[in-house]
């Protein structure tokens, strides 16, 4: 359990809830002795490089969270440095809720899921959007995708925490299903040819 994660997530109300339910003593040890977990490790960089989607959370001025799925080809979430990741903000439904929220409150959250391998990574940080920076846009551009990029969201990492895999359902992407189906078809043909 990373210490910086507990500094952010374990508010006084959370600590009170832990105390009432008997887990406070366990988590107090992690707060004092856990690693910082506030930089991108090689394992995290590889995990990020393989993702084709994640959930991005911001907070509105009225205090409500706003969660949005962001998707693209694997690698569209990019590691810029050991403390920073970024991704293209594609033209969408033009509601601009994320942009509006970030204009008033930079606190943000990344929820990264790999359903296939039952892995979940939570990242807390501060986000901002950058418009009109052609070099940065080119840095995040996937040249196999011509979707219009309106801006780049830059996310500075404050803390991360791997979450336990319990209750994560195993799901396959369409590409994985297609690959498995092709393999099944190939094996069925081999069996059919063998039996003739």
The predicted structure's pLDDT at residue 26: 85
Residue 5, φ and ψ in degrees, nearest 5: -60, -45
Domains of the chain in sequence order? 1-35 (no CATH), 38-195 (2.30.110.10)
Instruction: Give per-residue pLDDT as tens, 160-173.
Output: 998 878 888 888 88
Q: What is the dihedral of CA 37, 42, 43, 45, to 10 degrees?
A: 90
Residue 157, φ and ψ in degrees, nearest 5: -80, 130
159 in Cβ contact with 7 (< 8 Å): yes
Give the span between the Cα atoms of 135 and 69, in whole angstroms. 25
- Show the DSSP H helices in the chain as ranges: 3-9, 12-21, 24-33, 42-50, 97-104, 134-140, 174-195
**Tokens 């002795």 map to which residue?**
33
The predicted structure's pLDDT at residue 2: 55
Q: Which residues contact 97 (CB under 8 A, 6 or more apart)?
A: 58, 60, 66, 68
Q: What is the dihedral of CA 48, 53, 54, 57, to 10 degrees?
A: 130
Which residues make beta-bridge pairs with 65? 59
**pTM here?**
0.86
Quick one: average pLDDT of 71-85?
Answer: 93
Quick one: average pLDDT of 93-114?
Answer: 94
What's the chain's length in residues? 196
Over the chain, what is the mean pLDDT?
91
Does residue 112 register a pLDDT over 70?
Answer: yes
User: Nearest-CA neighbor of 171 among 132, 104, 114?
Assistant: 114
**Tokens 């993702």 map to which residue?**
51
**Both structure tokens of 149:** 């990029």
CA angle 60, 63, 64 (to 5 degrees): 70
**Tokens 């990019």 map to which residue?**
78
Does residue 1 register a pLDDT over 70?
Answer: no
Gyration radius from the chain CA atoms: 21
Residue 142, φ and ψ in degrees, nearest 5: -100, 115
């Amino acid at each position: 359990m990373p210490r910086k994660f507990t500094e952010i997530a374990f508010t006084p109300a959370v600590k009170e809830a832990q105390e009432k339910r008997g887990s406070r003593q366990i988590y107090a040890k992690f707060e004092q002795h856990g690693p910082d977990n506030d930089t991108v490790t090689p394992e995290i960089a590889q995990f990020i490089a393989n993702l084709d989607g994640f959930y991005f959370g911001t907070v509105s001025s009225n205090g409500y969270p706003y969660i949005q799925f962001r998707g693209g080809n694997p690698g569209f979430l990019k590691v810029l440095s050991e403390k920073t990741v970024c991704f293209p903000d594609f033209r969408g439904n033009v509601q601009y809720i994320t942009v509006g929220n970030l204009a008033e409150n930079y606190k943000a959250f990344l929820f990264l899921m790999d359903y296939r391998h039952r892995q979940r990574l939570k990242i807390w940080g501060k986000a901002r959007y950058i418009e009109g920076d052609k070099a940065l846009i080119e840095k995040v551009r996937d040249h196999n995708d011509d979707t219009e990029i309106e801006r780049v969201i830059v996310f500075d990492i404050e803390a991360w925490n791997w979450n336990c895999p319990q209750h994560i359902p195993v799901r396959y992407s369409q590409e994985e299903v297609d690959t498995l189906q092709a393999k099944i078809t190939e094996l069925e043909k081999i069996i059919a040819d063998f039996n003739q």
